[in-house]
Amino acid sequence: MSYDIEHLYSKVPPTKLRNQDEEFKPAKTSKFWLWVGNQFFYGMLENRFFGLRYKGEENVLEKIDTNIPTILFAPHTNWWDGIVGYNLITRIMKKEIRIMVEELNRFPLLRRAGAFSVNKKSPQASMKALKFAYETIGDTNNVLYIFPEGIIKPPNYRPIEFQTGIGYIAQKAAQKYDKVNLVPVAVNYFFLRADRPEVLVEFGEPILLTKENKTDRKEYSKYLAKELEKTCDNQNNNVSHGQLQGYKTLFQQKLRWYRKIEQRLKKIEIKGSGV
């Protein structure tokens, strides 16, 4: 399959670009389909990446009150982001994911894994999705995983700028449930020393929004964007300086046969070779 590399990134969301209305469809999970999703989405990552490593899990397991709603927000740079988010929520947090998906009519089975549709044709068209987003996390077994930029952006695009949907959801959740946890998540894909890329995830410091906090939706969205940018920049800076301490491994591939040979050759000392 070929594509025009000059036009990989559009500033217009797909549903708005097509200018077609789509009926809102909520997430509709079941134990069977969640089991299927857990196997399928985990297997997809294992087949494509050398490993997935994460740090800062205490920020989503210990530093937050798990009895109140939780929203994780991350950058959106490629097709794998939602699948990574699914595994973070299900395998690290042991919760169910709730995630907005444009053009969900093309992938209806994703509803069974926790996806719900969003129509970005207009602010009014997206209201059902925003309402569902803050209502579904009233069940604290559900965690909302959201890409507040609203569209796919190039890797490490700066500045990170959010649409105001996340501010709206956070405010409504705080009003409805008194408090809401918000956690920035840095996600990136690096070639390190392996022959395939690795997924590195860092959970940032949690933010608590209460109903007593009277904030402007736009300004609060800007504040959250800065917090995500700070978390992502910190991760990139550490990786660029080889500072990879503290990462835990969700999975890692075994060395392939040619890498095993390479490792053995490095241990062979040939006399007189100067090696």
Which CATH number goes with the domain that contains 206? Answer: 3.40.1130.10
Helices 127-136 and 165-177: angle between axes, nearest 10 degrees: 40
In the prediction, which pLDDT does 53 show?
98
Judge whether residue 273 has pLDDT over 50: no
Judge whether residue 32 has pLDDT over 90: yes
Of 222, 150, 203, 213, the C-alpha closest to 180 is 213
- pTM of the entire structure? 0.91
Residues 204-215 pLDDT 10s: 999 999 999 988
Q: Are 231 and 74 in contact (CB under 8 A)?
A: no
In a domain, 132, yes or no: yes
In a domain, 141, yes or no: yes
Q: Residue 214 phi/psi, 5° resolution?
A: -90, 105
Rounded to whole angstroms, the Cα distance separating 178 from 210 reads: 6
Of 163, 177, 143, 178, the C-alpha closest to 221 is 163
In a domain, 27, yes or no: yes
Judge whether residue 271 has pLDDT over 60: no
Judge whether residue 275 has pLDDT over 50: no
Residues near 34 by Cβ (< 8 Å), separated by ≥ 6? 90, 96, 112, 113, 114
Provide the residue count of the chain.
275
Residues 228-263 pLDDT 10s: 999 999 999 999 999 999 999 999 997 665 556 666
Confidence category of residue 264, pLDDT binned at 50, 70, 90: low
User: Mean of the pLDDT values across residues 49-70?
Assistant: 97
Confidence category of residue 2, pLDDT binned at 50, 70, 90: low
DSSP-derived secondary structure letter, 9: -
In a domain, 45, yes or no: yes
Rounded to whole angstroms, the Cα distance separating 131 from 102 reads: 16
In the prediction, which pLDDT does 4 show?
79
User: Mean of the pLDDT values across residues 176-187?
Assistant: 98
User: Mean of the pLDDT values across residues 220-232?
Assistant: 98
In a domain, 275, yes or no: no
In a domain, 239, yes or no: yes
Range of the domain at 71: 5-267
Q: How many CB atoms lie within 10 A of CB 116?
A: 22
Count of structural domains, the chain: 1
Name which residue leads in pLDDT, 133 or 263.
133
User: Mean of the pLDDT values across residues 123-127?
Assistant: 86
| DSSP 3-state of 86 | helix
Four-point Cα dihedral 86, 87, 88, 93, nearest 10: 100
- In DSSP terms, which residues pair with 96 in a beta bridge? 142
Amino acid, res. 125: A
User: Mean of the pLDDT values across residues 158-186?
Assistant: 97
Of 77, 103, 74, 87, the C-alpha closest to 40 is 87
Confidence category of residue 105, pLDDT binned at 50, 70, 90: confident
User: Mean of the pLDDT values across residues 83-102?
Assistant: 97
